[in-house]
Structure 1
Amino acid sequence: MSRQESSIHLPKEVIEEILLRLPVKSLLRFRCVSKSWLSLISSPRFGELHFQGPSKHSHRAFVSAQQQFQSIDFDAPFHDDSAIVKFNFPRPTTPADLEIMGSCRGFLFLVADKKRKYFLWNPSNGVCRKIPPPLDLDIFVYMYGFGYDESTDDYIIVIISDVLAFFSLKANSWEILDDECEYTYQYDQPTPGSILNGAIYWFAFHSREPEPECFAIIAFDIKSKTLSEIPVPDDFEYGLGILTSVAGCLTLTENCDVLKMWVMEKYGLESSWRNLGTLSPDEVHMEAISSLCFTKDGHLVAINSISGLAKLNHRGELLEYRKFLPEPHSFYCASVYTETLLSLPSVSCDHLVEAEQYC
């Protein structure tokens, strides 16, 4: 049998259907097969089909530490270095300058707050765009948010400072919604919001009434661009809270002499807050803890105030711990992200990582 007779030529539609079922890591390597495969896999259409399609997407923790970005497979043992992938940011800045302030659909929202530089970056395929900062460069931002509006196919960035404003990627402009925003935050650095059910959430308190009992959970509806409040648990006392979204539920951690944790089991229902119990900071080597995700085995993965990842069982007992910085840094330097091939809408100047990098 000749070589020509033994070769099999599949229709383009069949090849695309096969590729759509593969994980991102494999597709990045397969871009090297041919120019036609590179063109197909790198196209925005394919990226969207793959994101919405049958392929199971990998979820990883993304950390900015030791002058480098790293992603970690949180289902693997933390001491397993093969579970860590390092990334180079495709712009002239260093990870030390950047804080991770949100993650959505495979994109990270990165902020160099002192330099007022904002970026959207998909580490998987290298798509990156610089975002213009708000016009008033003197404002201090208490809270950042990043999300996606399905109704308009638009990514938005939200800031809460003395004003409430949002940035539309499609419009490439900022809009002020409230020029006298009454919410602030308890720490001296900006905090990221958590996405759940089409809204971005923060733990906050009223800036005009700084008494401890004036804290609340605030929610920014991405579609309607409105801000509302959700009550905190009845037995929440001190107001030193960290709010995250874990496994489709809001999770609140109170940091005082012990660490108390609650989960909202039914979205928006005040009575559905369930106390997960208390942890001793000495037991988990933490002064503050921020929940990130659950592993496939049901263990909680969290990041602490000295830039380490901890894995806890259902009783709050420490199973594993890995430190990423020699000195205390910030427990907001990590985020859970999804590996995707998505591009940004209506943007023609994206930066793409060369395909040869994955060959």
Structure 2
Amino acid sequence: MAKKKKKSVHLPHEVITEILLRLPAKTLVRCRSIYLWNPSTGIHRKIPIASNHNTSKLLLCGFAYDTIADDYLVVLGSYKYIVTLDPVYSPVNLEIFSLRANKWKQIEVAAYLPYRKTANSVEGPIVGLFLNGSIHWLVCNYETGENFITSFDLKEMRMSEIALPDDFCMELELYYSLSSIDYDLFEFCGHISAWKVEMQTIEIWVMQEYKVHSSWTKTVHFSYDPAPSFNPIYFTNCGDIVGTVGDGGLVKFNDKGVMLEYRSYGDCFFERSQMVVYTESLLSFPGGTTDQP
């Protein structure tokens, strides 16, 4: 008796895209295949798994373009975590993937990197902000408890630290505690900015001159109508602030805290996923294809 052949299931490309967009970063890291994708053109390229994928926990991730080498780069920072009565962290190790060379390379950094997530980071790795030729992350020093910005300079291939505003006041809390305080980085009119949301009040600080601590300026501070887990991701040319909310949507406020617009994008809670802003481009990257994987 002939065996019945198993019927293969084919999912349309747009369905696969919707599934991947809704997956949290932690789940994506576990996928057997990871792709770099340009939403504007549909061009994508498969990225090989980093060498320490199965032995370390991913803490930092970032994507950048090297204008000098005309190369796209993926930067990952990972660490080993030992679960004991007193959790033990190892220093962060950095790896960089070059699309042009199609390989990962261990980054030798002179600085000791005792980093972990800030108290309210979402599940999965911290997504870096690429600005001024560097990738920036908001992290915590697990030895001192201090929160600050760490940056990786693509040209110099080195890490450095940027102090937060003196009055930013980030409270240290247990990683898994419930809190109404959240904070992160985003780009504000071409400048690196730090925002904090606490009890329906948002505060945005802008570094007017890069890496000059005295140039930190509180630019926005207002209370807004209750919205669960509001997290700013973009500042419009009109001065409005667009962000995500925990009930599965995008919301836009003006600088007075008045809600101007709300758009639902499905049951995709902020605690389970991350959203980032990208710049539309019709340019292709090395080795990219529009063929379905």
TM range (shorter): 0.7 to 0.9
| Unmatched segments (≥5 aa) in structure 1 | 1-86, 102-110, 354-359
Taking structure 2 as the reference length, the TM-score comes to 0.75
Secondary structure, in 3 states, of the residue corresponding to 1:112?
A: helix
Q: Are 1:247 and 2:189 counterparts?
A: yes
Structure with more relative contact order (C-alpha pairs < 8 Å, separation 6 or more): 1
The residue aligned with 1:165 is: 95
Question: How far 1:284 moved relative to its partner?
Answer: 4.6
2:152 paired residue among 212, 220, 225: 220
The residue aligned with 2:14 is: 88
The residue aligned with 2:139 is: 204
1:320 paired residue among 246, 261, 270: 261
Greater mean deviation of Cα atoms: 262-271 or 237-246? 237-246
Alpha-carbon distance in structure 2 between the residues aligned to 1:325 and 1:343: 30
Secondary structure, in 3 states, of the residue corresponding to 2:22?
A: helix
Secondary structure, in 3 states, of the residue corresponding to 1:161?
A: strand
The residue aligned with 2:232 is: 290
Alpha-carbon distance in structure 1 between the residues aligned to 2:273 and 2:165: 23
The residue aligned with 1:120 is: 36
Please provide the CA RMSD for this pair: 2.8
1:150 paired residue among 52, 55, 67: 67
Greater mean deviation of Cα atoms: 177-186 or 199-208? 177-186
Question: How far 1:288 moved relative to its partner?
Answer: 3.9
Map 1:1-359 to 2 at 5 A: 88=14, 94-97=20-23, 99=25, 112-115=28-31, 117-138=33-54, 139-162=56-79, 163-178=93-108, 181-186=113-118, 187=121, 188-209=123-144, 211=145, 214-239=146-171, 240-257=182-199, 258-280=201-223, 283-294=225-236, 296-326=237-267, 328-330=269-271, 333-345=274-286, 347=287, 350-352=289-291
Secondary structure, in 3 states, of the residue corresponding to 2:214?
A: helix
Secondary structure, in 3 states, of the residue corresponding to 1:228?
A: strand
Residues 259 and 279 of structure 1 are in contact (CA less than 8 Å); yes or no, is this contact kept in structure 2? yes
Alpha-carbon distance in structure 2 between the residues aligned to 1:128 and 1:98: 20
The residue aligned with 2:84 is: none
Aligned-partner residue type, residue 319 of structure 1 = L
Question: How far 1:94 moved relative to its partner?
Answer: 3.8
Alpha-carbon distance in structure 1 between the residues aligned to 2:190 and 2:105: 29
Alpha-carbon distance in structure 2 between the residues aligned to 1:331 and 1:262: 26
Alpha-carbon distance in structure 2 between the residues aligned to 1:221 and 1:128: 26
Closer, same or farther: CA 313–329 of 1 in aligned 2, 3 Å: closer
Residues 252 and 263 of structure 1 are in contact (CA less than 8 Å); yes or no, is this contact kept in structure 2? yes
Instruction: Name the structure where helix makes up a greater proportion of residues.
Output: 1
Alpha-carbon distance in structure 2 between the residues aligned to 1:318 and 1:325: 19
Question: How far 1:298 moved relative to its partner?
Answer: 2.3
Greater mean deviation of Cα atoms: 111-120 or 234-243? 111-120
Residues 220 and 255 of structure 2 are in contact (CA less than 8 Å); yes or no, is this contact kept in structure 1? no
| Unmatched segments (≥5 aa) in structure 2 | 1-12, 80-92, 172-181
Closer, same or farther: CA 253–335 of 1 in aligned 2, 3 Å: same
What is the aligned residue count?
A: 250
Residues 245 and 270 of structure 2 are in contact (CA less than 8 Å); yes or no, is this contact kept in structure 1? no
Residues 232 and 241 of structure 2 are in contact (CA less than 8 Å); yes or no, is this contact kept in structure 1? no
Question: How far 1:118 moved relative to its partner?
Answer: 2.5
Secondary structure, in 3 states, of the residue corresponding to 1:165?
A: strand
Closer, same or farther: CA 253–151 of 1 in aligned 2, 3 Å: same
Alpha-carbon distance in structure 2 between the residues aligned to 1:184 and 1:272: 27
Q: Output one character per residue of 1:112-136: Cα deviation in whole Å (capped at 9) or x when no partner.
A: 1222542211122221001012112
Question: How far 1:322 moved relative to its partner?
Answer: 1.8
Alpha-carbon distance in structure 1 between the residues aligned to 2:24 and 2:45: 14
Closer, same or farther: CA 297–241 of 1 in aligned 2, 3 Å: closer
Alpha-carbon distance in structure 1 between the residues aligned to 2:239 and 2:262: 16
